[in-house]
Amino acid sequence: MKILQINTTINSGSTGRITEDIGCVLLDNGHESFIAFGRGNQESKSTKIKIGTQKDVNRHGVLTLLTDRHGFGSKKSTKELLKEIDKLSPDVIGLHNIHGYYLNIKILFNYITQKNIPVIWTLHDCWSFTGHCTYFDSVGCEKWKTQCEKCPKTKMYPKSIGLDNSFKNFNDKKRIFNKIENLQIVTPSHWLKDLVKQSFLRHPAMCIHNGIDLDQFSPATNTDYLRGKLRLQNKKIVLGVASIWDARKGLSDFVKLAGELSDAYQILLIGLTQKQIEVLPKNMMGIMRTESVAELATYYSLASVFVNPTYQDNFPTTNIEALACGTPVITYNTGGSPEAIDLHTGEIISKGDTSSLKAAVTDWCTKKNRNHTREKCRERAVQLFNKDDRYSDYLHLYEQMIKNK
Domain positions in the chain are 2-211+387-404, 223-384
Quote the CA–CA distance of 106 and 132 in Å, as a whole number.
16
Quote the CA–CA distance of 10 and 46 in Å, as a whole number.
10
Q: Report yes or no: 269 and 240 within 8 Å, Cβ to Cβ.
A: yes
Quote the CA–CA distance of 141 and 339 in Å, as a whole number.
23
pLDDT in tens, 27-38: 999 999 999 999
**What pLDDT does 246 receive?**
86
Quote the CA–CA distance of 138 and 334 in Å, as a whole number.
9
**DSSP code per residue over 170-237:** HHHHHHHHTS-SSEEEEESSHHHHHHHHHSS--S-EEE----B-TTTSS--S-HHHHHHHTT-TTPEE
Give the architecture (CATH level 2) of 223-384: 3-Layer(aba) Sandwich (3.40)
Say if 2-211+387-404 and 223-384 have the same CATH topology. Answer: yes
Q: What is the pLDDT along the chain (405 residues), one digit of tens a residue?
A: 999 999 999 998 889 989 999 999 999 999 999 999 999 999 999 999 999 999 999 999 999 999 999 999 999 999 999 999 999 999 999 999 999 999 999 999 999 999 999 999 999 999 999 999 999 988 999 999 999 999 999 999 999 998 999 999 999 999 999 999 999 999 999 999 999 999 999 999 999 999 999 999 999 988 998 899 999 988 999 999 998 898 889 999 999 999 999 999 999 999 999 999 999 998 899 999 887 889 999 999 999 999 999 999 999 999 999 999 999 999 999 999 999 999 999 999 999 999 999 999 999 999 988 899 999 999 999 999 999 999 999 999 999 999 887
**What pLDDT does 138 receive?**
84
CATH of domain 2-211+387-404: 3.40.50.2000
Quote the CA–CA distance of 29 and 230 in Å, as a whole number.
43
**What pLDDT does 363 receive?**
96
Using omega within 30 degrees of 0 as the cis cutoff, is the peptide bond preceding 188 cis?
Answer: no
**What pLDDT does 62 receive?**
97
Quote the CA–CA distance of 263 and 44 in Å, as a whole number.
43
**What pLDDT does 373 receive?**
96
**What pLDDT does 120 receive?**
98
Quote the CA–CA distance of 279 and 298 in Å, as a whole number.
25
Q: Which residues, other chains included, contact 369 with Cβ-Cβ below 8 Å and sequence gap of 6+?
A: none
Quote the CA–CA distance of 338 and 340 in Å, as a whole number.
5
Q: Report yes or no: 94 and 191 within 8 Å, Cβ to Cβ.
A: no
Q: Which of 200, 172, 145, 146 lies closest to 68 in space, CA to CA? A: 172
pTM recorded for the entire structure: 0.92
Q: Which of 137, 113, 135 lies closest to 126 in space, CA to CA? A: 135
